[in-house]
């Protein structure tokens, strides 16, 4: 069934593919339930897009490319200008969808949409971002210039934790550069991508420029293998990210792969108590710890004891509830399996000698079947503990200690991940040493781990990133464009009357 709008006829709603500007119900025999993590209600069903449907989506994107790449950049920007206006108009609807499918609080869901909206706003200035370079007279009468051209069909594979922001890191930049796009949302919460695609088309994105397919491993492998797809943006776990990076590279594609994290805060004894504790609580437990920039480990230089009671007291005061409830500070984690995994890691930390200062393993009255875990704090954590080695991706803060800033920096640098790290201190000397020596790609000084705004790029390091052109900002534009260098010779006299067999020099 093909419709120009996202139909809500079936119950539960069957999430359609978007192929060539039409929302088309999949012929797949296999669907995955999209579940409200606060209630276990089945909200919709997402198909494992069939291979024929996948190929049709790529063919639609390929067909749309020649005309879209030749559409004036000013016109492509204007589509984004309208798109950002429509996202603002539908902010509440988008945020409610994010909360219902992903679980985060409504306020946090608005932030999810807003941080993606900022990338759309940035894409409105693509003409300037995509500008080439020109050097006149590189030799007598010869000029050289470079231009950045779109690649063709690009694809994006998304994680569950930012259902609006992460698709918006990808397709607005790609399409405004002149590419066409295949988006594969997370099978756990595809709703925001579907709503955003409707808005993009309402804003004037021509049919076939943005297509959406669904599924898991098979769809992802099909994206890696298809010869007509030139570039893949991936955000998610290391297992998937490194698999995609290797498989797509073997097919000659460029890949940017943002992956897992274990973000550390180093707290110096001179740090401001209130501001530091509040930052640790917000970044440790916000979004139930399911942010790639969540703070999961705190290294207290000089010992954690003076900080523990106030940390526990403020963490305890947070309200765990369904994200739609007005008083919720943190909502549920994404699935029953995630909840069980997090419980197991808390237990293993405790059994291997960590002190359980706060245990969030409890139920929320009124939402007994929800995947809730309250703020949990484990102290005296060592680097050989499973809870430290694994990315927990839940509301669990690990505390450890170091005798000096040098020791704290070594501890952080020994971790394989390098997404973000932050220091809390009043000393400029300590902050500067940290900023210089820390191996994380995104560094905070007296701020919890910052996600850079779109005029910079998201710059994970070490095992947190594979590729060399990061998401959004200048690097994002470079990722979605191929550089072409042109050398031209326009002389007013015909003076090259001899053959010169030597390597040309000026
Ligand atoms: P995930 O890797 O399970 O899923 C991400 C995507 O990959 C989904 O679309 C899924 O269908 C697909 N996928 C999963 N396993 C696959 C496999 N083996 N082969 C092929 N495709 C596969 O990740 P998630 O649980 O949705 O998201 C959480 C992870 O994402 C965390 O590790 C988090 O740190 C990371 N993350 C990183 C960033 C960042 O910018 N660095 C941002 C957000 C999330």
Does the ipTM exceed 0.95? yes
Cα-to-centroid distance, 305 and ligand 1 (Å): 36
Specify the ligand 1 atom closest to the Cα of 261. 34
54-104 pLDDT per residue, tens: 999 999 999 999 999 999 999 999 999 999 999 999 999 999 999 999 999
Burial of 32 (0-12, 13-18, 19+ CB in 10 A): middle
Cα-to-centroid distance, 236 and ligand 1 (Å): 2
pLDDT for residue 397? 98
State the Cα angle at 292 between 291 and 295, rounded to 5°: 75
> Is 391 touching ligand 1 by the criterion CB < 6 Å?
yes
CB 503 within 8 A of CB 163: no
Residues of the chain with pLDDT under 70: 1-9, 494-496
> Is 232 touching ligand 1 by the criterion CB < 6 Å?
no
* Best CA proximity match to 379, nearest among 404, 402, 400, 359: 400
> Is 338 touching ligand 1 by the criterion CB < 6 Å?
no
Cα-to-centroid distance, 241 and ligand 1 (Å): 7
Q: Most distant CA pair in the chain: distance in Å? A: 90
All residues at 6 or more sequence positions from 500 whose CB lies less than 8 Å from its CB, including other chains: none
> Is 127 touching ligand 1 by the criterion CB < 6 Å?
no
Burial of 62 (0-12, 13-18, 19+ CB in 10 A): middle
Burial 77-102 (b: 16+ CB within 10 A, else e): bebbbbbbebbeebbeebbbbbbbbb
State the Cα angle at 86 between 81 and 88, rounded to 5°: 100
Mutate to test the pocket of ligand 1, among 218, 237, 392, 463 (most ligand atoms within 8 A of CB): 237
Helix (H, G, I), strand (E, B) or coil at 134: strand
Query: What is this structure's pTM?
Result: 0.97
Domain range 263-416+420-445, CATH architecture: 3-Layer(aba) Sandwich (3.40)
What fold does the segment set 13-260+464-485 form as a domain? Aldehyde Dehydrogenase; Chain A, domain 1 (3.40.605)
DSSP assignment letter at 302: T
Domain residue spans in the chain?
13-260+464-485, 263-416+420-445
Which residues are designated catalytic? 292
Mutate to test the pocket of ligand 1, among 159, 186, 259, 262 (most ligand atoms within 8 A of CB): 159
Helix (H, G, I), strand (E, B) or coil at 421: strand
Burial 458-486 (b: 16+ CB within 10 A, else e): bbbbbbbbbbebbbbbebbbbbbbeeeee
Specify the ligand 1 atom closest to the Cα of 243. 19
Question: Sign (positive/negative) of CA torsion 106, 109, 111, 117?
Answer: negative
**Rounded distance, CA 371 to CA 364, Å?**
9
For 213-328, strand residue ranges (E) read 229-235, 254-258, 263-267, 295-301
């Amino acid at each position: 069934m093909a419709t120009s709008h996202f139909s809500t006829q079936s119950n539960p709603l069957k999430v359609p593919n978007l192929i060539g500007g039409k929302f088309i119900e999949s012929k797949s025999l296999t669907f995955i339930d999209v579940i409200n993590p606060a209630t276990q209600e089945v909200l919709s069903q997402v198909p494992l897009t069939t291979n024929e449907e996948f190929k049709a989506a790529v063919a639609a994107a390929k067909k749309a490319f020649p005309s879209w790449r030749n559409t004036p950049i000013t016109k492509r920007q204007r589509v984004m200008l309208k798109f950002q206006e429509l996202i603002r108009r539908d902010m509440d609807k988008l945020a409610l969808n994010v909360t219902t499918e992903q679980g985060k609080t409504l306020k946090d869901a608005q932030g999810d949409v807003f941080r993606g909206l900022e990338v759309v706003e940035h894409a409105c200035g693509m003409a300037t971002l995509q500008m080439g370079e020109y050097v006149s007279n590189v030799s007598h009468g010869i000029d050289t210039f470079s231009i950045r051209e779109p690649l063709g069909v690009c694809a994006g594979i998304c994680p569950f934790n930012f259902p609006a922001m992460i698709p918006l890191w990808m397709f607005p930049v790609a399409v405004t550069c002149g590419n066409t796009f295949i988006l594969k949302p997370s099978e756990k919460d595809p709703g925001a991508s579907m709503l955003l695609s409707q808005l993009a088309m309402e804003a004037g994105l021509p049919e076939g420029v943005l297509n959406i397919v669904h599924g898991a491993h098979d769809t992802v492998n099909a994206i890696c293998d298809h010869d007509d797809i030139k570039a893949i943006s991936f955000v998610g776990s290391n297992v998937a990210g490194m698999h995609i990076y290797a498989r797509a590279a073997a097919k000659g594609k460029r890949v940017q792969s943002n992956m897992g994290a274990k973000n550390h805060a180093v707290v110096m004894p001179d740090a401001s108590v209130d501001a530091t504790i509040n930052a640790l609580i917000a970044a440790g437990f916000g979004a139930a710890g399911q942010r790639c920039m969540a703070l999961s480990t705190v290294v207290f230089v000089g010992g954690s004891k003076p900080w523990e009671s106030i940390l526990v007291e403020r963490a305890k005061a947070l309200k765990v509830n369904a994200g739609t409830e007005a008083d919720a500070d943190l909502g549920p984690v994404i699935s029953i399996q995630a909840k069980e995994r997090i419980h197991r890691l808390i237990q293993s930390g405790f059994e291997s000698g960590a002190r359980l200062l706060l245990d969030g393993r409890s139920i929320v009255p009124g939402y007994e079947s929800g995947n809730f875990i309250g703020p949990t704090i484990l102290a005296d954590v060592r680097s050989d503990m499973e809870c430290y080695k694994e990315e927990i991706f839940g509301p669990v803060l690990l505390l450890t200690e170091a005798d000096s800033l040098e020791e704290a920096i070594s501890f952080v640098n020994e971790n394989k991940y390098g997404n973000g790290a932050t220091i809390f201190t009043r000393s400029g000397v300590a902050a500067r040493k940290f900023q210089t020596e820390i191996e994380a790609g995104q560094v905070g000084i007296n701020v919890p781990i910052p996600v850079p705004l779109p005029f910079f790029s998201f710059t994970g390091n070490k095992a947190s990133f594979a590729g060399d052109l990061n998401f959004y900002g200048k690097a994002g534009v470079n990722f979605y464009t191929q550089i072409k260098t042109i050398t031209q010779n326009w002389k007013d006299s015909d003076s090259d009357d001899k053959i010169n067999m030597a390597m040309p020099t000026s």
